[in-house]
Structure 1
Amino acid sequence: MTENRCENFSRITDWCHALIRSLAPREGNYIDATMGKGNDTLLLARLAGEQGQVLAFDIQKEALDMTKALLKENGVEDRAKLILDGHEQMDRYAKKESMDVICFNFGYLPGGDHNIATAAKTSVAAVQKGLEILKHGGFMSLCIYSGGDTGFEEKETLLAFLKELSPGEYTVILQEYYNRKNHPPLPVLIFKK
């Protein structure tokens, strides 16, 4: 972060990172459900410290390779397990109620093939499984984008799913960039009671 703490909040990922840093327990257990270039994985690896753990998922080897290099460059490569698999499979790697924080950054790999992107069906399945994997008192961060071939469908499907979550079990906070045009991204937080 720069001296002016609000300067970078125009980017959804910076906003979500600030929230994760302020809310996540240190040395906890975390999942980066959409590894991409590894920035969320790096943040979580730093929070994990020596005692915590990070599981990071992506279906593209390119994403795994970039993340591996980023973690190594920052001296935290031993804090994360990088998994070449879809985020909807996370329950194969993490037990129920075992994670403190799960973060999603939906869409496609920045600078990558736009034909390879998250999709409504698998994204909702991943969020459902993530909610089971979250500890009580844990939270989930979602960066939801619109646009592209499947972005609007994914956004609407995710929002419809989130609206139906039991308020007795979850608190869902939807934020928005209110003065932006052209379908700005939506940051969402889900807290498990």
Structure 2
Amino acid sequence: MLLHALAFTRALIEQAVQSGDTVIDATVGNGHDTLHLARLVGDSGKVIGFDIQKSALTVTQKRLKETGVDARVTLHHKGHETIDEVLSPADSVSLVVYNLGYLPKGDKSIVTTPASTLKSIELALSYLKKNGLVLLMVYYGHEGGPEEKDALLKYVETLPQKEYSVLQYQYLNQKNSPPFLIAIEKK
């Protein structure tokens, strides 16, 4: 069902990514998005992944090898705020995807933070192609999560509408801090 935020995110990803594209998975986690992106970019495309947890990269690398798409993906044991250390100024990407919060089934004390996330988004926007997307799944039901959510919303509201379209997609009748999507399209 498309009403679910993750399903809507998947639909946006599939519209934004073409064979041959370069895309970024800014928070690799368990590698589900990384694998999906690797399939979408095809043999001529490239996925660049970031995660601060070595265990996440290990699980993802195994998943990619098992499906034969590992050659399309470069994984970096770095925070997403280091995008500019990996990309050159001439690079451009069609999509940057984030899952904010903590690694599912992982150490819940290791979470994304407002400072690193906002720096990463600023960098991601500078590499984004025209009509490219930054997609942020915001999981905020953890310690520090509400602060990151508030900082993120405050930041995206300031993006110039002549340069970006920003969408928030969320449930209005759910309890317990349901995740929501922020989509930023570069005009």
What band does the TM-score fall into relative to the shorter chain?
Answer: over 0.9
Match of 2:179 in 1: 185
Aligned with 1:78 (options 71, 82, 98): 71
Match of 2:161 in 1: 167
Match of 1:15 in 2: 8
Q: Structure 1 residue 38 and structure 2 residue 31: aligned?
A: yes
User: Could you tell me the TM-score, scaled by structure 1's length?
Assistant: 0.92
What is the CA–CA distance in structure 2 between the aligned matches of 1:13 and 1:68, rounded to whole Å?
23
C-alpha displacement of 1:133? 1.2
Matched-pair contact (CA < 8 Å) for 1:95–1:133: no
The C-alpha deviation readout for 1:63-95, integer Å capped at 9, x for no partner, is 000100111111101110010000000111113
Secondary structure, aligned partner of 2:59: helix
Counterpart residue identity of residue 181, structure 1: K
> Tell me, which stretches of 5 or more residues in structure 2 are unaligned?
none
| Equivalence map 1:73-152=2 (5 Å) | 73-96=66-89, 98-152=92-146
Counterpart residue identity of residue 55, structure 1: I
C-alpha displacement of 1:24? 2.2
Secondary structure, aligned partner of 1:123: helix
The C-alpha deviation readout for 1:129-169, integer Å capped at 9, x for no partner, is 10001112211111011221110000000000000001011
> Tell me, which stretches of 5 or more residues in structure 1 are unaligned?
1-5
User: Could you tell me the TM-score, scaled by structure 2's length?
Assistant: 0.95
Secondary structure, aligned partner of 2:184: strand
The C-alpha deviation readout for 1:103-153, integer Å capped at 9, x for no partner, is 011011100001101001111111111000111221111101122111000
Secondary structure, aligned partner of 1:172: strand
Secondary structure, aligned partner of 1:103: strand
Aligned with 1:153 (options 147, 154, 157): 147
Secondary structure, aligned partner of 2:182: strand
What is the CA–CA distance in structure 1 between the aligned matches of 2:128 and 2:21, rounded to whole Å?
12
Matched-pair contact (CA < 8 Å) for 1:27–1:48: yes
Matched-pair contact (CA < 8 Å) for 2:16–2:95: no
Q: Structure 1 residue 65 and structure 2 residue 45: aligned?
A: no
Aligned with 1:50 (options 43, 46, 61): 43
What is the CA–CA distance in structure 1 between the aligned matches of 2:80 and 2:109, rounded to whole Å?
17
What is the CA–CA distance in structure 1 between the aligned matches of 2:134 and 2:180, rounded to whole Å?
14
What is the CA–CA distance in structure 1 between the aligned matches of 2:129 and 2:11, rounded to whole Å?
21
C-alpha displacement of 1:56? 0.2
Secondary structure, aligned partner of 1:187: strand
Matched-pair contact (CA < 8 Å) for 1:176–1:185: yes
Secondary structure, aligned partner of 1:69: helix
Matched-pair contact (CA < 8 Å) for 1:139–1:191: yes
**What percent identity do the matched residue pairs reach?**
40
C-alpha displacement of 1:27? 2.1
Counterpart residue identity of residue 102, structure 2: Y
C-alpha displacement of 1:9? 5.0
